[in-house]
Chain A
Amino acid sequence: DAGVTQSPTHLIKTRGQQVTLRCSPKSGHDTVSWYQQALGQGPQFIFQYYEEEERQRGNFPDRFSGHQFPNYSSELNVNALLLGDSALYLCASSLGQGPGNQPQHFGDGTRLSIL
């Protein structure tokens, strides 16, 4: 039973570029959430996708956008990259959108470095 998988594992970009990160949820899960984790901090919620729509959003600018596909996989896109976007980006999946339906299962993240 495959867990949450993310790609790539590491990525280096320069300021102003755009990046796309990918996530495949755990088998049987239909909801995907994205988090940003700066070094030494807890993960910060970016947004959640359910039924191919963004359902909830954290305090992140419009430069951060996403998509969910019919097979429940998801992408996170970040435009006009800033140095402060350097972080570990985590994807989590769960079954159902409602709170407490299932604990979220996390992937090992994509380490994004902005030069």
Chain B
Amino acid sequence: GESVGLHLPTLSVQEGDNSIINCAYSNSASDYFIWYKQESGKGPQFIIDIRSNMDKRQGQRVTVLLNKTVKHLSLQIAATQPGDSAVYFCAEISNDYKLSFGAGTTVTVRA
């Protein structure tokens, strides 16, 4: 089975609210994690990354949290906007250099 997965396939959020997208991974050797956003008809777009020696990293309106104890990763989007509607993937890289994706969470922003 997949080593990276998301807890929920879909997420509906009101515009202006905060979004939290969760991801579980199973490979304890993974040392680098990335969140990607994929809009319809487009390739995955890098959002933010985090290394295994960090617990939290913040970007513009986004925060990634890593809990290595329970192998859990989350992406928080502040003040969600209509342009945030997309499929979000977490991905991990272990020491074999392969990027492994989960199945994705579809985020829909309600006006």
Q: In the assembled complex, which residues on chain A have CB atoms less than 8 Å from the CB atom of B34?
A: 103-104
Confirm or deny: A15 has a beta carbon within 8 angstroms of a beta carbon on chain B. Answer: no
C-alpha spacing A27/B78, complex, angstroms: 32
Q: Would B101 and A104 count as touching, CB distance under 8 A? A: no
Residue of A nearest to B98 (CB): A45
Q: In the assembled complex, which residues on chain B have CB atoms less than 8 Å from the CB atom of A90?
A: 43-44
C-alpha spacing A90/B43, complex, angstroms: 7
C-alpha spacing A29/B23, complex, angstroms: 29
Stretch touching chain B among A70-78, A79-87, A106-114: A106-114
Q: Would A44 and B97 count as touching, CB distance under 8 A? A: no
Confirm or deny: B31 has a beta carbon within 8 angstroms of a beta carbon on chain A. Answer: yes
Interface 1/0 per residue, B21-61 and A, CB below 8 Å: 00000000001101010000111111001010000000000
The A interface is mostly helix, strand or loop, or mixed, namely loop
Q: Would A99 and B97 count as touching, CB distance under 8 A? A: yes
Known pairs A56-B96, A105-B46; A99 contacts B31 (CB<8 A): yes
Give the interface of B toward A (CB within 8 A): 2, 4, 31-32, 34, 36, 41-46, 49, 51, 89, 91, 93-104
Give the interface of A toward B (CB within 8 A): 4, 33, 35, 40-45, 48, 55-56, 58, 90, 92, 97-100, 103-109
